[in-house]
């Protein structure tokens, strides 16, 4: 989800001794899938009842590799490691594993109510579903169902990273992240904010310019009442 700590994790990973490059939020997987199914679903006589959702993985792989190479020229070479920070990739976990069997998924998340309020306050201009509480809740509900399904199906591919834990014990959690990604951990990565080449297009840019601070558990509590009317529809809001 947006505002979940993904930019923080990205900054830490790109500060590793291996100098892993990040391609940012590039949407390569989504656009490649859309190129595959677009001609089928944008027909004037399209009927969802007769639509068979099939993907030609060979075609998608060609699209993906070609698009990645526009961001990182070495992406097509064997044993290359890089970061794709596209947040909507949780929809595409199964496809990505088919394309890249060695892929690793870092699932950053935070207190769900805090996440909803933070997204609502941010009014993210590039995401149409972030401007109404109703739409955010529906998106979050889909996200929770999908990520939980894939965590059960592919437990060895996905690492949970709770933002509260990361800020509370950065050394421990970053070691777990680096071990999961088969990367060499170094204490210097916690000084990522001192890098002169650190840059992000997200709203988190100012936050990654300083060292990791403890999570503020009270920051959004004053706004939780905005969610009260929706608790009947979304049971996970009651926790």
In a domain, 48, yes or no: yes
| pLDDT confidence of residue 87 | 94
Question: Among 76-90, 109-123, 125-139, 207-221, where is mean pLDDT lowest?
Answer: 207-221
| pLDDT confidence of residue 213 | 73
| pLDDT confidence of residue 214 | 80
147 pLDDT above the threshold of 50 = yes
124 close to 180: Cβ distance less than 8 angstroms:
no
* Res. 210 pLDDT band, cuts 50 70 90: low
104 close to 176: Cβ distance less than 8 angstroms:
no
207 pLDDT above the threshold of 70 = no
In a domain, 109, yes or no: yes
* Res. 72 pLDDT band, cuts 50 70 90: confident
In a domain, 233, yes or no: no
Angle at alpha carbon of residue 122, lines to 116 and 127, rounded to 5°: 80
In a domain, 196, yes or no: yes
| pLDDT confidence of residue 201 | 56
208 pLDDT above the threshold of 90 = no
* Res. 128 pLDDT band, cuts 50 70 90: very high
CATH of the domain at 59: 3.40.50.300
Residues shown for the chain: 239
| pLDDT confidence of residue 204 | 54
pTM of the model: 0.88
Question: What dihedral angle (degrees, nearest 10) is formed by the CA atoms of 152, 153, 158, 159?
Answer: 20
153 pLDDT above the threshold of 80 = yes
Q: Pick the more confident residue, 231 or 74.
A: 231
In a domain, 61, yes or no: yes
Within 13 Å of residue 166, how many CA atoms lie on the same side as its CB?
26
In a domain, 234, yes or no: no
Secondary structure percentages of the chain, helix, strand, coil, to 5: 55, 5, 40
Average pLDDT of the residues in 203-219: 67
| pLDDT confidence of residue 203 | 47
Q: Pick the more confident residue, 207 or 156.
A: 156
Residue 204 domain boundaries: 6-224
How many angstroms separate the CA atoms of 87 and 39, rounded?
25
Place of tokens 């706004």: 223
Average pLDDT of the residues in 88-107: 96
In a domain, 149, yes or no: yes
Summary mean pLDDT of the chain: 89
Domain count, the chain: 1
Average pLDDT of the residues in 16-30: 91
In a domain, 229, yes or no: no
202 pLDDT above the threshold of 70 = no
């Amino acid at each position: 989800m947006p505002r979940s700590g993904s930019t923080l994790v990205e900054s830490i990973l790109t500060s590793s001794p291996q100098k892993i490059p990040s391609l940012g939020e590039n949407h390569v997987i989504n656009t490649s899938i859309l190129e595959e199914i677009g001609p089928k679903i944008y027909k004037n006589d399209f009927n969802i009842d007769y639509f068979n959702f099939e993907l030609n993985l060979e075609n998608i792989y060609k699209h993906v590799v070609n698009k990645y190479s526009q961001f990182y020229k070495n992406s097509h070479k064997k044993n290359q490691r890089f970061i794709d920070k596209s947040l909507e990739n949780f929809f595409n976990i199964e496809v990505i594993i088919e394309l890249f069997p060695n892929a690793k998924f870092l699932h950053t998340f935070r207190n769900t109510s805090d996440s909803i309020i933070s997204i609502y306050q941010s009014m993210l201009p590039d995401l149409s579903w972030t401007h109404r509480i109703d739409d955010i809740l529906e998106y979050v509900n889909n996200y929770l169902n999908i990520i939980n399904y894939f965590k059960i199906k592919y437990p060895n591919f996905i690492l949970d990273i709770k933002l509260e834990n990361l800020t509370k014990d950065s050394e421990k959690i970053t070691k777990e992240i680096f071990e999961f990604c088969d990367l060499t951990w170094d204490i210097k990565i916690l000084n990522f904010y001192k890098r002169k080449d650190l840059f992000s297009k997200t709203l988190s840019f100012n936050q990654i310019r300083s060292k990791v601070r403890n999570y503020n558990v009270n920051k959004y509590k004053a706004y939780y009442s905005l969610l009260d009317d929706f608790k009947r529809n979304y049971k996970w809001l009651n926790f």
